[in-house]
């Protein structure tokens, strides 16, 4: 049984799951627009949200959904990383969303993987502050890694951690290896929003699909809250939804 405050929605397949999340985002964007306000979105990369971005592009093209009043903050970026590199999360977001909608480029925020070590801490503090100044995250979209990471908050990340430079777990680096043409090319560090940054979002939607995510999804929802599985910290928060397909939900009791 799910004793945490997490609400769970299960869809027949990943397309329906993606469409439901895209609709949530579209509804927020439209309602904010009606009030003359900006919608502040926390975004994730990886395979999980691609269907959501595809559907948002369709809503933009076919149903006139505008992103003029959208401000985005991405969760993370590899470090070091050049934005024009194929593996960068800047390239990912351009390819899967930003190049296809009318979001003003100055409204897009993605951690900067090009900075020198000596300025990273100051940069991360400014990233936190920029989220606050934007009015906070209305919706934070999350995937979940096999280590139980959200963003790149690997095991050992504390509940109050903020945006910072982190060392990637070996499991996470192995999962990224195909995209980098081998493990040795995967950066060992990343800049990520912290668990505490994510926790401040007004709504958190964690998505997962496929059998491979079933075990970690069960742990995140039903497991003991532990620093070893950072996604378990979500159990302590209000307004957290897990949006799953049948396979990812298959082990949840």
Is 163 among the residues that bind ligand F6R (CB under 6 A)? no
**DSSP per residue, 58-121:** HHHHHH----TTEEEEESEEEES--TTSTTSHHHHHHHHTGGGS---GGGEE---TT--HHHHH
- Compare residues 67 and 152 and give the one whose CB is closer to ligand F6R: 152
CB of 37 to ligand F6R, least distance (A): 26
Length of the chain: 253
Among 60, 149, 164, 200, interactor with ligand F6R by CB under 6 A: 149
CB of 151 to ligand F6R, least distance (A): 4
Give strand ranges (E) for the chain.
7-11, 39-43, 70-74, 76-79, 108-109, 139-142, 164-167, 189-192, 203-208, 240-245
Which span (41-49, 97-105, 162-170, 197-205) binds ligand F6R, by CB under 6 A? 41-49
Among 18, 53, 60, 76, interactor with ligand F6R by CB under 6 A: 76
Q: Which of 128, 154, 241, 247 is catalytic?
A: 154
Determine phi and psi for 47, rounding to 5 degrees: -65, -35
Is 51 among the residues that bind ligand F6R (CB under 6 A)? no
Q: Are 97 and 53 in contact (CB under 8 A)?
A: yes
Is 42 among the residues that bind ligand F6R (CB under 6 A)? no
Among 42, 113, 151, 194, interactor with ligand F6R by CB under 6 A: 151
Is 143 among the residues that bind ligand F6R (CB under 6 A)? yes
Q: Is 154 a catalytic residue?
A: yes
Distance in angstroms (rounded) separating the CA atoms of residues 89 and 112: 10
CB of 207 to ligand F6R, least distance (A): 8
The set of catalytic residues is 154
């Amino acid at each position: 049984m799910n004793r945490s405050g997490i609400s769970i929605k299960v869809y027949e397949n990943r397309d329906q799951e993606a469409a439901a999340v895209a609709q949530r985002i579209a509804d927020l964007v439209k309602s904010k627009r009606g009030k003359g306000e900006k919608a502040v979105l926390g975004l994730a990369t990886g395979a999980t949200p691609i269907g959501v971005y595809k559907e948002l592009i369709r809503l933009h093209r076919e149903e006139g959904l505008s992103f003029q009043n959208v401000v985005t903050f991405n969760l993370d970026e590899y470090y070091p990383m050049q934005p024009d590199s194929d593996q960068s999360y800047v390239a990912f977001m351009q390819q899967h969303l930003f190049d296809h909608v009318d979001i003003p480029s100055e409204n897009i925020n993605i951690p900067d993987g090009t900075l020198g070590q000596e300025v990273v801490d100051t940069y991360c503090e400014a990233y936190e502050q920029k989220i606050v100044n934007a009015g906070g995250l209305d919706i934070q979209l999350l995937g979940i890694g096999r280590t139980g990471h959200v963003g790149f908050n690997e095991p050992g990340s504390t509940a109050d951690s903020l945006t910072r430079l982190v060392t990637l777990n070996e499991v996470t680096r192995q999962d990224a290896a195909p995209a980098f043409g081998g493990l040795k090319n995967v950066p060992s560090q990343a800049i990520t929003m912290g668990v505490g940054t994510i926790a401040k979002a007004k709504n958190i939607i964690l998505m997962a699909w496929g059998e491979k995510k079933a075990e970690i999804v069960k742990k995140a929802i039903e497991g003991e809250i532990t620093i070893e599985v950072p996604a378990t910290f979500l159990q302590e928060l209000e307004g957290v939804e897990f949006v799953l397909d049948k396979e990812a939900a298959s082990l949840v009791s």
